[in-house]
Amino acid sequence: MTATRALIAAVRQARIGVWLPIAALATTIGTVVLGAALLGTSGYLISRAAQQPPILALGVAMVLVRAFSVGRAIMRYLERLTTHELALGALARLRSSFVARLIPLVPAGLPRLRAADLMSRFTSDVDQLQELFLRGLLPPIAAVVVICMAGVAAGVMLPAAGVVLAVVLIAFAVLVPVATGAVARAAGRRQARARADLAARVVDVLEGAPDIVAWGVRDAHLGAVERANDTVMRLGRRDAYASGVAAGLSGLGAQVAALAVLIVAVPAVRDGRMSGVLLAALVLMALAVFEVLVPLPVAAQNLAACGQAALRLEECVDRPIPITDPDVPEVPGPGRSLSLRGAQVRFAPEQEPVLSGIDLDLCWGRAVAIVGPSGSGKTTLCEVLARLRAIEAGAALLDGIPLDRLRQFDVRRAVTLVPQDAYLFPTSIAGNLRIARPDASDDELLDVLSRAGLGEWVDGLPDGLETHVGQDGGLLSGGQRQRVTLARGLLAPGGLLVLDEPTSHLDAASEAAFLDDAHGASVTDRTGLCIVTHRLAGMERFDEIVVIVDGHVRERGTHAELVVSGGWYADTVRATAVAA
């Protein structure tokens, strides 16, 4: 996709309508026209007053000066109001539109981008697009209209002056943005990526600070940040240089326009082809009209920057959606059972299947553990169960209905996935729990926290449910963080609870307590439980254990059955016992 096509797509997503852009354009033009009329009339009034006519002969001109002065102030206010409403309204809609297009791509359709780079695109690049209408598209359109009007107005006073003024305005309207663009073009193309690289490096240093210090590589990482910052500063200085060139050329253009008008108007006054009192009006009007050309160089820079920003955003979201809802979805059942039959998953057509021939049954009142070595496809299986990833072959059934015949919303109302890296928002415990069910009462929150083993802990907190958890749960211990995510899963309406590596950051004692709480809180009351893990502690609690190795089901059965079978499970149990 080209930058132009990306900009067109951005304009469509902004949904700006018709009347607001027209109002913004009309007030922009009106401000310049009233300013030119004010200066032109003032010039006429000064020249006419110098002839010392009766005061009544100046009455109309004085009234017009006052009217244009007040009118210009009012029009400037309306211009600010309409243009900012246009820009900020478009920005809000663009942001929500791009986020809405991003969400369906999670997780299978997202490009391989660093989190900081992705965040940079959805903050600074979207913010850049607010300049598209206010300082990108409006100034050129307004300039075209005002140049035509100025040429006609000057032509009424002196045809030659109208032609000369129009030629000078058109020349500078084209040449100044072209010259500015030539200076800033390379910097503009690189600036968005440079800013994104700087943001990514800063976030990496902040998030990895303990490891960076521990391994003694602080200077290397800080040096990389400084080099990225130097690149952004160098490109910014080049942009500033281009803006300075544009400002100088614009000031020069105003003087050239006034001089050109004088060159053709002074002889006309001598010959009697134009009244002398109109000379000052004509020159001052030429100077005032040049105001409409001042934003054009910045508009050229903004259009280039907006094009790159739109292109970077489209690179993220302009891709096939991996999971789509059927046109006519079937009515879901109560969500009591979820089955896979010969399920196969492949990340790309040219790659080997990540999962192949998977058979699995989950249902209410039953606890299933899916185990296997790291990299065997367990997390991918979790995504399939929650319909975050589609299967290539086989069948996935919820209460006997294929998942691809149901809305994603209905599937996730029945199946609650708590991923390994479940995110805790930097807000209160209550705020994090209500992500699962916004209308939950405090009593319901305390109930699920109690079932997740956090009841006494929360009761002992000074702020209770309003206790802040910090950035991604940084103010909680590893066990508390895992239990809060479990409580959130229990609060969700889904009857089938899938936990991906829920004990990966816990010690043995905490792991055993967590598994007891998870098993008791889910299976004994209203749900079915599926825990995915590579650790084999506490497997005696589960009704069935499914062993996945290299994307295939190698073993299945209870803990006692698998221990005597002599396969991967038995070998791993023995190795763990020896290590302990």
Which residue do the tokens 């994307």 mark?
551
Question: Is residue 308 located within the same domain as residue 381?
Answer: no
In this predicted structure, the answer to whether residue 526 has a pLDDT above a threshold of 60 is no
Closest CA to 473 of 426, 435, 419: 426
Mean pLDDT is lowest, of 184-198, 245-259, 426-440, 549-563, for 184-198
In this predicted structure, the answer to whether residue 119 has a pLDDT above a threshold of 80 is no
- What pLDDT, on a 0 to 100 scale, did the predictor assign at position 187? 57
- Are 475 and 469 spatial neighbours (Cβ–Cβ below 8 Å)? yes
Within a domain: 456: no
pLDDT digits (tens, 9 = 90+) for 73-82: 999 999 999 9
Question: Residue 530, Cα to own-chain centre: how many angstroms?
Answer: 34
Helix/strand/coil for 396: strand
- What pLDDT, on a 0 to 100 scale, did the predictor assign at position 524? 55
- d(Cα 367, Cα 497) in Å, to the nearest integer? 10
How far from 103 is each of 109, 139, 323, 328, 564, CA to CA, in Å? Answer: 10, 35, 11, 22, 46
User: Could you tell me which residue, 177 or 522, shows the higher pLDDT?
Assistant: 177
Which residue do the tokens 């010259």 mark?
179
Work out the pLDDT band at 248, boundaries 50, 70, 90: confident
In this predicted structure, the answer to whether residue 276 has a pLDDT above a threshold of 70 is yes
Question: Is residue 92 located within the same domain as residue 235?
Answer: yes
Mark 213-239 as b/e (b = at least 16 C-beta within 10 Å): eeeeeeeebeeeeeebeebbeebeebb
Work out the pLDDT band at 112, boundaries 50, 70, 90: low
Burial category of 351 from C-beta neighbours within 10 Å (exposed 0-12, middle 13-18, buried 19 and up): exposed
Residue 564's contacts (CB-CB under 8 Å, 6 or more residues apart) are 570
In this predicted structure, the answer to whether residue 368 has a pLDDT above a threshold of 60 is yes
- What pLDDT, on a 0 to 100 scale, did the predictor assign at position 291? 80
- Are 495 and 364 spatial neighbours (Cβ–Cβ below 8 Å)? yes
Please state the rounded mean pLDDT for residues 106-129.
Answer: 74
Beta pairing class for 415-418 and 367-371: unpaired
In this predicted structure, the answer to whether residue 383 has a pLDDT above a threshold of 70 is yes
H or E, element range at 199: helix 159-207
Question: Is residue 369 located within the same domain as residue 295?
Answer: no
Closest CA to 490 of 542, 461, 525, 455: 525
pLDDT digits (tens, 9 = 90+) for 304-320: 778 888 888 888 888 88
Helix axes 296-317, 218-271, angle to 10 degrees: 140
- d(Cα 268, Cα 259) in Å, to the nearest integer? 14
Work out the pLDDT band at 372, boundaries 50, 70, 90: confident
Mean pLDDT is lowest, of 192-201, 252-261, 430-439, for 192-201
Mean pLDDT is lowest, of 144-153, 395-404, 486-495, for 486-495
Work out the pLDDT band at 1, boundaries 50, 70, 90: low
pLDDT digits (tens, 9 = 90+) for 180-231: 766 655 555 667 677 777 877 887 888 778 888 888 888 888 888 888 888 8
Domain of residue 15 covers: 3-317
Question: Is residue 159 located within the same domain as residue 304?
Answer: yes
- What pLDDT, on a 0 to 100 scale, did the predictor assign at position 548? 92
Task: Supply the DSSP symbol for 331.
Answer: P
- Return the CATH number at 251: 1.20.1560.10
Work out the pLDDT band at 26, boundaries 50, 70, 90: very high
- What pLDDT, on a 0 to 100 scale, did the predictor assign at position 474? 82
Within a domain: 485: no
Closest CA to 254 of 164, 343, 172: 172
Question: Is residue 247 located within the same domain as residue 129?
Answer: yes
Closest CA to 181 of 296, 332, 9: 296
Question: Is residue 18 located within the same domain as residue 135?
Answer: yes
Please state the rounded mean pLDDT for residues 513-533.
Answer: 70
- d(Cα 503, Cα 534) in Å, to the nearest integer? 10
pLDDT digits (tens, 9 = 90+) for 336-365: 888 999 999 988 778 888 899 999 988 888
- What pLDDT, on a 0 to 100 scale, did the predictor assign at position 111? 60
- What pLDDT, on a 0 to 100 scale, did the predictor assign at position 228? 86
Within a domain: 122: yes
- Count up the domains in the chain and report the number: 2
Beta-strand runs (E) in 120-225: none
Mean pLDDT score of the chain, rounded to an integer? Answer: 83
Residue 101's contacts (CB-CB under 8 Å, 6 or more residues apart) are 317
- Return the CATH number at 366: 3.40.50.300
Burial category of 360 from C-beta neighbours within 10 Å (exposed 0-12, middle 13-18, buried 19 and up): buried
Question: Is residue 279 located within the same domain as residue 344?
Answer: no
Burial category of 29 from C-beta neighbours within 10 Å (exposed 0-12, middle 13-18, buried 19 and up): buried
Question: Is residue 308 located within the same domain as residue 342?
Answer: no
Please state the rounded mean pLDDT for residues 259-287.
Answer: 84
Within a domain: 347: yes
Question: Is residue 137 located within the same domain as residue 68?
Answer: yes
Please state the rounded mean pLDDT for residues 64-70.
Answer: 90
How far from 47 is each of 43, 57, 156, 250, CA to CA, in Å? Answer: 6, 12, 18, 27
- Are 524 and 442 spatial neighbours (Cβ–Cβ below 8 Å)? no
- What pLDDT, on a 0 to 100 scale, did the predictor assign at position 186? 56
Sign for the pseudo-dihedral over CA of 197, 201, 206, 207: positive
Torsion (CA) 405, 406, 408, 414 in degrees, nearest 10: -140
- What pLDDT, on a 0 to 100 scale, did the predictor assign at position 70? 92
Question: Is residue 283 located within the same domain as residue 392?
Answer: no
Beta pairing class for 496-500 and 415-418: parallel
Please state the rounded mean pLDDT for residues 492-511.
Answer: 77
Which residues are 395's β-sheet partners? 341
User: Could you tell me which residue, 151 or 510, shows the higher pLDDT?
Assistant: 151
- pTM value surpassing 0.75: no
Within a domain: 547: yes
In this predicted structure, the answer to whether residue 469 has a pLDDT above a threshold of 60 is yes
How far from 102 is each of 36, 107, 208, 277, 316, CA to CA, in Å? Answer: 47, 10, 26, 64, 8
Within a domain: 331: no
Within a domain: 474: no
Amino acid present at 529: L
- What pLDDT, on a 0 to 100 scale, did the predictor assign at position 515? 75
End-to-end Cα distance, the chain: 57
Question: Is residue 342 located within the same domain as residue 306?
Answer: no
Tell me the chain's radius of gyration from C-alpha atoms.
34
Residue 329's contacts (CB-CB under 8 Å, 6 or more residues apart) are 405, 406, 407, 410
- Are 312 and 127 spatial neighbours (Cβ–Cβ below 8 Å)? no
pLDDT digits (tens, 9 = 90+) for 139-155: 889 889 988 888 888 88
Question: Is residue 377 located within the same domain as residue 281?
Answer: no
Please state the rounded mean pLDDT for residues 457-476.
Answer: 87
Q: What region does 551 belong to: left with phi over 0, alpha with psi -120 to 50, or beta?
A: left
Task: Supply the DSSP symbol for 123.
Answer: I
Within a domain: 153: yes
